[in-house]
Every structure is written in C-alpha cells, then in structure tokens.
Chain A
Amino acid sequence: AQSVTQLDSQVPVFEEAPVELRCNYSSSVSVYLFWYVQYPNQGLQLLLKYLSGSTLVKGINGFEAEFNKSQTSFHLRKPSVHISDTAEYFCAVSDYTGGFKTIFGAGTRLFVKA
C-alpha cells in the first residue's frame, strides 16, 4: 500500500536562506510524485511533479525536487526563500494501483522569518 511521510511538521528558516522539505514514500510499483503548496485560506496548488525521465524536477516559484528511487525520497528544495514562501507544503504519491488515487502526506509548515 502507498504511504507518504513528511519528516518535518514545521520548518522555520530565515529569509534568503536555503531550505529542504523532506518526503519519503512507500510503494511497491512505479510512482508519480507531487509537491503542492497551500497558502492560508486557499486550496492546494501544484508546485511540481515527477512522472518519469529526469530525476531533478523544476517547479514554480524557484522550487525543485529530486526523485531518489533507491531511497524512496522526493525532497523539495529552494536555494533562497522569501517571506512569501510561508505556507503549508504537501508531498503526494500516486500509482496505477487503486485507480490512481493520490495519497497525501501530513504537510510541512514552512515559516520564513525576516
């Protein structure tokens, strides 16, 4: 069965510092991986996705993530964060079992300080 673990519930970081939000998944088959962002009082929106091909995926707002099959990880990174990046970030996994339903992690709250 699929599962997603986001290893940090909260990540405080100073503005212009780099950040990494960690995500590990469990699946016995090939997977599709996603990172979503949720700003206060809004729904989730897609940051980036991995379907196949290059393991380094670039997304919106300067974020990127690296798919590591051997470590079953899909960590999200940004080299320099802004105050406006303060939000909740969700890692998600989907595969062809279960009708391509998506399993979401519990979220990581990124708090960028001035």
Chain B
Amino acid sequence: EADIYQTPRYLVIGTGKKITLECSQTMGHDKMYWYQQDPGMELHLIHYSYGVNSTEKGDLSSESTVSRIRTEHFPLTLESARPSHTSQYLCASRPSGISYEQYFGPGTRLTVT
C-alpha cells in the first residue's frame, strides 16, 4: 500500500504569510512531484524532483519553491501567500523503472484570504 502523507490537509491563511506544505513518503521513491489542482482543470505540474538535491520547475509558472534534502521529504514553500494561490495542492511520488504510475497524497486545500 502506498504511504504518502501531506500536512496540513486544510489551511486558511492571510495574504502575505509564509507557508510550507509538507509531503513525505515512506516508499523510498526517487521521483516526487507537486501538482496544483483546480475544479474542472487538468492537474498542473509545478515542481518535481528526481532525487536528493535535484529540483526542477514544472510546466505551470509558480511562485513557490521546493527542496529535497532527504529522499522521503519534499516540502513546498510559498514565501508570501496571495489569494491567487488558493487551490488544492497534490504531492505524488513514483518508483524508478518501467511502471511509471504515480502515488498521490491526500492533498492540501489552501485558501488565502
């Protein structure tokens, strides 16, 4: 069974605050991803990592940053939250090799007021 965790599950925060969304997985996967999900829209890749000390920006421009100091941990940080950041954020990981499917966390629903 996939074990990938995200905290917090829900967050309401004021404009200008700094926030970090946590994502951890216990499966030893090298590859990890952050997606932004809005109702009726495709999942948009905002960051990804292929291993420790490897991070890349995704296809959707984002003002967030990520780090990958440990294999199991892939936090996402917004230095100054804005209402336009209101969205659902999904973290995922997948193993190397031919299988290619991703395992998703439960998501963090962020509301910036």
Q: Decide if A and B are genuine partners.
A: yes
Interface residues, chain A, CB within 8 Å of chain B? 4, 9, 32, 34, 36, 41-46, 49, 51, 90, 94, 99-107
- What's the minimum C-beta distance from B54 to chain A, rounded to whole angstroms? 11
Which of B12-20, B35-43, B65-73 is the contact stretch? B35-43
* Secondary structure of the A contact surface, majority rule: strand
Interface residues contributed by chain B, number (CB under 8 Å):
26
- What's the minimum C-beta distance from A6 to chain B, rounded to whole angstroms? 9
Q: Which of B45, B99, B101, B105 contacts A101 (CB 8 A)?
A: B45
Given contacts A44-B90, A51-B98, A106 and B40 within 8 Å (CB-CB): yes
CB-nearest residue of chain B relative to A49? B101
Give chain B residues whose Cβ lies under 8 Å from the Cβ of A100. Answer: 100
Give chain B residues whose Cβ lies under 8 Å from the Cβ of A105. Answer: 42
Given contacts A9-B40, A106-B40, A106-B41, A43 and B105 within 8 Å (CB-CB): yes
